[in-house]
Amino acid sequence: QHPGGEEVLREQAGGDATENFEDVGHSTDARTMSESFIIGELHPDDRSKLQKPTETLITTVQSTSSSWSNWVIPAIAAIIVALMYRCYMSE
């Protein structure tokens, strides 16, 4: 677990995060805590020995607007703009 959230770990996975770690400006406690972890490169042969995640997070986005509003609102806006343009040009 990472105090900044799992997203931080995912963003840096597979690469060298040393520079990013230094740029963030971690506290002395965080630096001390990092010494208790194994930090380095994983040999390609050892990757197959790792446990695959058993749980997959699936997110869905539900549309709150109905399909008719996806085209009606822009159409009304276009008509209003066209009418304003026509009124402006007729003066």
CA–CA distance from 76 to each of 66, 70, 84 (Å)?
16, 11, 12
Q: What is the pLDDT of residues 46-68, one digit of tens each?
A: 777 766 666 666 666 555 556 77
Say which residue, 13 or 38, is predicted with more confidence: 13
Over residues 14-25, the mean pLDDT reads: 79
Say which residue, 60 or 33, is predicted with more confidence: 33
CA–CA distance from 7 to each of 1, 2, 25, 47, 57 (Å)?
10, 9, 18, 21, 13
Over residues 9-15, the mean pLDDT reads: 76
pLDDT of residue 82 exceeding 90, the answer is yes
